[in-house]
Structure 1
Amino acid sequence: MTSWQTLVARARLRATRKHRYRTVEAGRHSMAHGYPAAPVPEGLAARATTASFDGGELVTVSGSGEGPGALVLLHGGAFINGIQAQHWGLVEHLVESTGRTVHVPRYPLAPAAVHTDAWRFLDAATARLGEEAPLYLVGDSAGGTLALLMAQRHRGDGLVAGLTLVAPWLDLSLGNPEVERLARQDPWLTPAGMRPIARQWAGGLDPADPSVSPLFGPLGDLPPTLVLVGSHDICRADCDRLRELAPADADLVVHVEPGSPHDYPLLPTPEGARGRADITRHVLRTLGAGVRRG
């Protein structure tokens, strides 16, 4: 049964966020007025360092150092919004529950940037992090797009050991017919408002091009992958499609949380807490147990 906290969250999202993507015009307006990045919270500041290069920033939050590898969290925000407080909350959870250092790339955003600008920075960041391999990537929404693309770019080289994709935007064209049906249930996202953002981010490419839409890229030889998505989320359509297209022997788990909206593991709900615990378990199974405090 869906918790009352999730029902409240859905109502709040519909009242405060749905208008940002309801129409093409709303999407263009949102793109021109993206949310600024939230600062590193006080609880993490003492463990955080920031390096600026190639048009972005790499924030590193040190863990206990117990256990191999490190995490990279690629934040969502439809490629137009900076990292938000709920993303920092997930960073703190991961640092405490896995013992690993978490690296947070703050990549260039639309409309000033397109995907090639982001990859100039992300490739430079990845090169810096190579000594900390294996890396486990966590990405939500647009960050999930980037996480899967990054894993595809590094297939077979041993850099990326595992993936968690939270409500990933897998097809920027939103061409799946199921998207329109799910939009009636989704309290947050509407394809009409997201499509102009996708076209801007694609920088002249077809939004369905595999360079920007990982659903159409190579899906074989990927690391162990966990996908978490709510049933009331337009991103569910292509998460289901990912499960259909992935090779039969893929180490892929797609969990659909009944009644939950977009990015549910980032929400302060019982379902969100279970989602965060699922991420921790997958990280520890993939990288090795190390320590676990939460």
Structure 2
Amino acid sequence: MPSDRYGHRSSAPKQREAALSIPLEQTLMRLPEQVIPLYLRAAGRNRAFRSVKNAQAHIDDLALRPRPYAPPRRLGFPVTIDVSRRDGWPVYRVRPADAAPRGSVVYTHGGGWVNEISAEHWRLVAQIAAEARTTVVVPIYPLVPFGTADAVVTAIVDLAREASEQHGEVRLAGDSAGGQITLSAAMVLRDQYNVTLPRTLLISPALDLTCSNPRIPQVQPSDPWLAEPGIRVFADRWRGELPIDDPRVSPLAGDLAGLGPLTVFTGTHDILNPDAHLLRDHAKAAGVEMEFHEEKGLVHVYPLLPTRTGEAARAIIAERLTV
């Protein structure tokens, strides 16, 4: 089946091996926290990040064989889903099935700017829609090597403005690479449209794509998922023509003053955790309200995982995104 000009194939009904998948991904079973790092290492989930060669091979493979992005048929929450196209992108809207939605959330998924949305993302989206009783807008944005930061951040900004017009109050949320896009979009909304969002929620966000934080090498041995060599390759392709320190690529390089409240989730066994601390420090210095959830010993995007701590984090996320 041919790809469209964004490098995406039409959605297929069978479930793929997602970038964030874990065993028993088709169930809602809760797993012990200590199992997650063991599984990630045993399954080689960090393979694409371990070397420049692996990262480039990963880009090439996904460009040739794009993964399906369709939501699973079973999400565990009462929601309705529809899809439209915007400039060639599929854009899903997820709504509570048993209530009239209020406001909206634009959720931008993670995956290193190269991996497609996963089942875990979809389940979080469904929970937000059902429990926050809101409309969640989910763009299937173009990935590396087809997508670049400038184009995608601009489009997310446009989607947020449209969501505000159609649904009322809008909030932004995203995880990992999607956290980078989300915070960058919040800055553009502030700077170009004088919009201060009532909430921007970031799950293990990528904040500085230079990977220059001196604490990263200290955290790396405990991170079973991410590694600096691959992040640098993906980031270099993602930035396109922009400098790596442009706030549309590395939002930590931007000015936080004037942003609305931020909510951040981060685990200490994540090489993105040191930059989350810098974001907290910069937010305090800029007078920006921040709610900082840090879990010791937990991995990247732990709120998406089927664990007790992940479950508790998801409940908080839905509550914070309630209009």
TM-fit CA distance, 1:41: 2.0
Cα distance in 2 for residues equivalent to 1:202 and 1:234: 20
Task: Name the aligned partner's letter for residue 39 of structure 2.
Answer: R
Note closer, same or farther for the CA distance 1:82–1:37 as it changes in structure 2 (3 Å cut): farther
Match status 1:243 vs 2:276: no
CA contact (8 A) 1:182 1:233 kept: yes
Question: Which residue number corresponds to residue 264 of structure 1?
Answer: 302
Cα distance in 2 for residues equivalent to 1:127 and 1:212: 20
Question: Which residue number corresponds to residue 13 of structure 1?
Answer: 40
| Cα distance per residue 1:107-130 (max 9 Å; x no partner) | 111012222332353244234323
Give the number of the structure with larger relative contact order, counting CA–CA contacts within 8 Å between residues 6 or more apart.
1
| Cα distance per residue 1:200-222 (max 9 Å; x no partner) | 11113332222211111120111
Question: Which residue number corresponds to residue 197 of structure 1?
Answer: 234
Match status 1:30 vs 2:58: yes
Match status 1:40 vs 2:66: no
Which segment is superposed worse, 31-40 or 268-277? Answer: 31-40
Query: Which of 202, 208, 211 is matched with 2:248 structurally?
Result: 211
SS of aligned partner of 1:107:
coil
CA contact (8 A) 2:185 2:248 kept: no
What is the TM-score of this pair, normalised by structure 2? Answer: 0.82
CA contact (8 A) 1:81 1:109 kept: yes
TM-fit CA distance, 1:189: 0.3
Task: Name the aligned partner's letter for residue 93 of structure 1.
Answer: Q
SS of aligned partner of 2:313:
helix
CA contact (8 A) 2:103 2:169 kept: yes
Cα distance in 1 for residues equivalent to 2:85 and 2:168: 21
Task: Name the aligned partner's letter for residue 60 of structure 1.
Answer: R
CA contact (8 A) 1:229 1:257 kept: yes
Note closer, same or farther for the CA distance 1:170–1:46 as it changes in structure 2 (3 Å cut): closer
CA contact (8 A) 2:31 2:306 kept: no
Question: Which residue number corresponds to residue 170 of structure 1?
Answer: 207
Cα distance in 1 for residues equivalent to 2:168 and 2:106: 11
Query: Which of 40, 47, 56 is matched with 2:89 structurally?
Result: 56
- Is the helix fraction higher in 1 or 2? 1
Cα distance in 1 for residues equivalent to 2:248 and 2:154: 14
Cα distance in 2 for residues equivalent to 1:189 and 1:9: 14
TM-fit CA distance, 1:75: 0.3
Percentage of matched positions with identical amino acids: 33
Cα distance in 2 for residues equivalent to 1:65 and 1:171: 39
SS of aligned partner of 2:263:
strand
Cα distance in 2 for residues equivalent to 1:160 and 1:242: 17
Cα distance in 1 for residues equivalent to 2:79 and 2:140: 19
Query: Which of 188, 205, 217 is matched with 1:153 structurally?
Result: 188
Cα distance in 2 for residues equivalent to 1:15 and 1:207: 33
Task: Name the aligned partner's letter for residue 242 of structure 1.
Answer: L
Cα distance in 2 for residues equivalent to 1:7 and 1:208: 36
Q: How does 1:133-152 map to 2 (within 5 A)?
A: 133-152=168-187
Alignment gaps of 5+ in structure 2: 1-29
CA contact (8 A) 2:110 2:174 kept: yes
TM-fit CA distance, 1:157: 3.4
| Cα distance per residue 1:254-290 (max 9 Å; x no partner) | 2211111000000000110111112123223xx2xxx
CA contact (8 A) 2:102 2:135 kept: no
CA contact (8 A) 1:37 1:81 kept: no
CA contact (8 A) 1:70 1:101 kept: yes
Q: CA RMSD in A?
A: 2.1
Note closer, same or farther for the CA distance 1:148–1:267 as it changes in structure 2 (3 Å cut): same
CA contact (8 A) 2:173 2:182 kept: yes
Cα distance in 1 for residues equivalent to 2:31 and 2:259: 37
Cα distance in 2 for residues equivalent to 1:48 and 1:282: 22
Question: Which residue number corresponds to residue 3 of structure 2?
Answer: none
Q: How does 1:73-84 map to 2 (within 5 A)?
A: 73-84=107-118
Match status 1:125 vs 2:159: yes
| Cα distance per residue 1:140-169 (max 9 Å; x no partner) | 001000111111111273463211100000
Question: Which residue number corresponds to residue 93 of structure 1?
Answer: 127
Question: Which residue number corresponds to residue 292 of structure 2?
Answer: 254
